[in-house]
Structure 1
Amino acid sequence: MDCVDAVASFRGRTDKERVSLSVRNRNFATLSGLQRANTQLLGNIPDDADEATVAEARNYAIDFWNRVTQFVEPWSEIAAGTMTSIEARQEYLSSYTLVLWALGRVGAVLREQGMSLDALSALADVDWRKRNPEWEGICILGNSIITRTSTRDATGELLKHKLGLRPDAPDAVLEKL
């Protein structure tokens, strides 16, 4: 909930009741999708974790998602109100929960390796449009976005490659029918 309140792209744009968004839903994310992305980012924080551990995790997540908002197209436009979430979902893959999850995985690697969040600036060079052929076979098949464990993993691996965290791009996980 702290991320929902502190991150401009999520504030006032997070559906707290549904687990998925319809094409015409004005929200940018679901609370359950953001929670799953934060689990990827931070791991499971034990219920009995001390306040310092919880505060560190909270601060890292807020800082991470605010940085991502700066670099992932069109998140800053959504945060500024110059583009709606509905418009973004029509053209951009980055407006789907699949990408939230994958970005969480990327952030976890940065955190585990003690890397600066400045590395996220490379996300500005990613072509986030659904029509970008790099996504085909990774998380898009034809005109459909496929959300499976394998496509979330492959999307995360492609983003790691884009940030220089792995040497080569992942192989396609989806086969053309």
Structure 2
Amino acid sequence: MLLTVSGPPGSGKSTTAALLADRFDVEHVSGGDIFRQLADERGYTPLEFNKLAEENDEIDRDLDRRLREIAIREDDLVLESRLAGWLAGDQADFRFWLDAPASVRGERIAEREEKDPIRATEETRAREASEVQRYEEYYGIDIRDLTIYDLSVNTARWEPDAVLDMFVTAVEEYDPDGDEGKTPVTIDYEF
């Protein structure tokens, strides 16, 4: 089973993906962890590395290729990244999208990274705008198009365990014969 968890920074992707992986006893691969690790290895903050990625498309493309290869290769996995739903394409059994208002996400990031919430919100908005532009330019993907997702949740309204319960219910109640309403995601671009 391949589950994808996508959403903007601070939406609860990592928390939800880890809970899902634990609940279904599958591996969890985080694009954000890989991105932050790459940034740290090169001596950059995630925001600085994101800005560098604006000038060097190989940073995004390398990360996306790695995640796409994992999605194709692995069967029992929760893949978490901004583009996870797109990267997995029709390989995914479920594609979940998480979101929350920018101020809520900024507060979460500020707590995680020990910084001012206003600064974190501003940086997050800048990061999102950059990513929207880059994904469109690189792959023709409008990251704001949520029609490929099976379930979208505003995580400001529910605690992580409640979001997990929604996702687990969706997976457990899934009827594979009812796939005619599912939006196919054809991968016709190179990562």
TM-score (norm 2): 0.29
Higher strand share: 2
Higher helix share: 2
TM-score (norm 1): 0.30
- Of structures 1 and 2, the one scoring higher in RCO (CA 8 A, sep 6+) is 2
